[in-house]
Structure 1
Amino acid sequence: MNWSELLTQEIESTYAVTKGLFELTDDEMLQWKPATGSNWMTTGQLLKHITIACGGSMRGFVTGDWGLPEGVDVHSLSTEEMLAPAETMQAVGSVAEAKKLLEEDERLALSLVSECSEKDLDTKQTTAPWDQTELILGHRLLQMVDHLKVHKAQLFYYLKLQNKAVHTGNLWGM
């Protein structure tokens, strides 16, 4: 298996499971967040973050476009600016909006992988704004799928805490 095949399979399976979790989410719970602890996203903020967690980040690695305003260099941002506190994060207005954005992000992720040559995925060295360690492009893109998986699992636990009848199969697509 090559990088393109691996990334495509991981993207397709991860987004499919994530879509299933979005189906279990209610508009009425978009303002909900865990009652204890701090710096929790609301469900609406989490859904919004999930819709940019993979494809949006991949775009930065593949094209250099990190989605910042013109004139802002991603490498000049402080850690605090890159890792904004939850209360400053955007939220979706509805689950329907989140589903649409998730579909767009999946198309973007798949498109970006298809634009990369196997040679670039296997040999092009990249750094991340938050990590200056050089890794090959394929590894960085796989990390972005992992980023989506982490937040998919977070949504799973949010749904559990909201008393939704979720089980391990919902987390893994069974």
Structure 2
Amino acid sequence: MNRISKPPEIRKQEILDEAKKQFLKNGYEGTSMTNIAAAIHVTEGLCYKYFKSKQELFQSVIDKYVEEAYEKFVAVVSDKSMSLEERINLNFKIIKNIETPNGINKYFHNEKNEALHLQIIYKIMNRLSEPFQKIIEEEAKKGTIHIDSSKDVAHFIMFGALGVLLCDDKEDKEERIKKYVFKMLGYSG
């Protein structure tokens, strides 16, 4: 087999892409660095050059997923052409329909992977708190909302909504969360 030299960023991405496929197909336990290396025709040592362990590689796959989800949310949250209400409504639609290539969200959100699911949601919510805080500050300056601490309120909203989403089985939880959010913000449209 002839070796093909590729730039490091391309090679690293190939390893990540193949790892994602392997984790989806075989699960964490059924995937090995050897399988990943063989599938992309590189040595196992090359995989370890970029990722110290299978756990680190798996974490990188998770982080990439979180970043993809975050980018979709932050694009909406940052769109100043929409009202706060429109941005919140659209983000709920994104939450319901978020998809990433190769169905990785189905793996991460599978009941068997509950701990992983919680880790991902925590990372997404934590990342979203900062841009949401900026939106709250902008709305407060416009006088459409009335709050004391934008940082506290942003975190409280993100993680409070998460609690309702994860623990409540009632069908109207999305509407109730929105009602709580607008009431907490003193939103006057």
What TM-score does the superposition give when structure 2 sets the normalisation length?
0.29
More strand by share: 1
Give 1 or 2 for the bigger CA radius of gyration: 2
More helix by share: 2
Bigger relative contact order (CA 8 A; separation at least 6): 1
What TM-score does the superposition give when structure 1 sets the normalisation length?
0.31
